[in-house]
């Protein structure tokens, strides 16, 4: 009977969708910057309605220059946050891949020891290894 190796991240929570991530990040932005980005990117109420700089200036009762300035600083801040998050996710993915490879190697080794030692299951192999490891401490 072929035993299946279970991936480490089998119960991992799904990644946050990009719209949800952007909305969450906007919560920490200054109020005017947040409002400009929400309207510009279609993240405000109602969703998915993109506004031009002129429309945003009219809606927020601000000058076009103020809107452009806040849009530029807000977009730079959001780019920096997204780049940092992307790097964090890449590092986490690489770490998880290494853990998965190590996990699979351990399982393979335990299976081969089970066969070599003619035991019924991997739990018996693990028990034997633990007893040998802790023989002086038990």
pTM value surpassing 0.75: no
Hey, what domains does the chain have and what are their CATH numbers? 18-133 (1.10.10.10)
The predicted model gives 120-129 an average pLDDT of: 94
Contact 37, 72 (CB under 8 A): no
As a whole number of angstroms, the distance between CA 103 and CA 97 comes to: 10
Structure tokens at 61: 């009762």
Encode pLDDT of 3-51 as tens digits.
565 555 555 554 555 788 999 999 999 999 999 999 999 987 767 789 9
CB 79 within 8 A of CB 22: no
Q: Quote the tokens at residue 120.
A: 């019924």
């Amino acid at each position: 009977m072929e035993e299946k190796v279970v991936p480490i991240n089998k119960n991992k929570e799904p990644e946050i969708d990009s719209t949800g991530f952007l909305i969450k990040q906007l919560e920490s932005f200054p109020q005017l910057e947040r409002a400009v980005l929400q309207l510009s990117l279609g993240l405000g109420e109602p969703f998915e309605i993109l506004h031009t700089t002129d429309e945003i200036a009219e809606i927020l009762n601000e000058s076009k220059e103020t809107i452009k300035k806040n849009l530029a600083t807000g977009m730079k801040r959001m780019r920096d946050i997204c780049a940092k998050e992307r790097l964090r996710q890449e590092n986490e993915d690489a770490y998880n891949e290494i853990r998965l490879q190590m996990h699979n190697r351990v399982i393979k080794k335990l299976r081969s020891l089970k066969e070599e030692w003619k035991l019924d299951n991997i739990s018996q192999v693990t028990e034997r290894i633990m007893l040998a490891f802790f023989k002086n401490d038990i």
